[in-house]
Amino acid sequence: MRYRQLAPGLQVSEIGFGNWTMTTGWWGDYTRQEALDLHRAGFDAGITFFDTSNAYAEGYAEQVLGEALADVRDQVVIATKFGYDLDATEGRRGQQERPHRTDVDTVSRDLDDSLRRLGTDRIDLYQLHNPRMGHLDDDELFAFLEQAKAAGKIRHYGMALGPKIGWLDEGVHGMRARDLGGVQMIYNLLEQSPGRELLEVAAETGTRMIVRVPHSSGMLEGGLTADHVFPQNDHRRHRPRSWLVEGVQKVATLGFLTEDMTLAQAALRWVLADEHVATTLPNIYGLDQLREFAKAADRRDLTQPELDRVAALHADNFGVVPEADQATKVNA
């Protein structure tokens, strides 16, 4: 495993561990013991950066992380998130986004609750979960975060952009307006925008980035086919079929990256090729896969010609004609 600096005093593993896949039920069902065992396997593989949220299963994810790592707390960096109204459950369906609630009284209570569930006296990175512009301009909120930092309850604060890919304006504004200890975003070899633009601002402001979904929701793991059927409890089942069909075609152009590593490892090395990326959060949902991802930190860096070839492929949409465009040509 290799390590990088996320923020002053925070050294993190290049490969991190986000525990939403095994605690929310969106990537399959796991018993508590299975989830605990995967956390420990991650630590045993050299992973020291663990990311969660108070909104994942209403705090259950924090409880699992805290229990799994209790005896190695001083050897790991723990990041969690805040900002959603955990009491607002009425009328929500599936993955529908819940409303935010970021008044100081609520955030103060949420922070204490997260500390209790995690079984720790400090949170290393406290992230505003999927903020809008108004949250980033809330001086009272950030004054409270500074107070919590001074009190030792948090070491740094940052933001996680989302819920889906995008949020360029919020990312740019947040990095320029606030002293953030890290910014989490979606970025991968297939979905490079707005991550590329956000990395340019990160270079300008000295912000370090946390990249989630580095495998494009499993597409860059190399195991999907055009006729793959996702289980009923897999959130990818709700994506348009074009995502799967076109994604498989794109992946077929990347064989040049896999001569001495797996596609999944190459996808992680591609993300880590940018020096402003501190760590990545691949979706971990099995022991063999966890070990494969962790070993990506020991693989060689991609060469400049390889990076240039990826850039050229991306500029040409990997040679894939979108289904919508094909339909237009047929009907013309």
Torsion, Cα of 224, 246, 24, 262 (10° steps): 40
Count the residues in the chain. Answer: 332
Distance (Å, whole) CA 205 – CA 232:
43
Distance (Å, whole) CA 140 – CA 124:
21
With beta carbons less than 8 A apart as the criterion, state whether 113 and 146 touch: no
Phi, psi at 247, each rounded to 5°: -65, -40
CATH code assigned at 33: 3.20.20.100
Question: Which tens digit of pLDDT belongs to each residue from 98-113?
Answer: 899 999 999 999 999 9
> Tell me, what DSSP letter sits at residue 234?
B
Q: Domain count of the chain?
A: 1
Q: From the CA atom positions of the chain, what is the Rg in Å?
A: 20
Question: Which tens digit of pLDDT belongs to each residue from 16-62?
Answer: 999 998 888 877 789 999 999 999 999 999 999 999 999 999 999 99
> Tell me, what DSSP letter sits at residue 75?
G
Domain boundaries, position 309: 3-331
Question: Which tens digit of pLDDT belongs to each residue from 164-174?
Answer: 999 999 999 99
Work out whether the CA dihedral 146, 147, 148, 149 comes out positive or negative: positive
With beta carbons less than 8 A apart as the criterion, state whether 127 and 171 touch: no
Q: What residue type is assigned to position 137 of the chain?
A: D
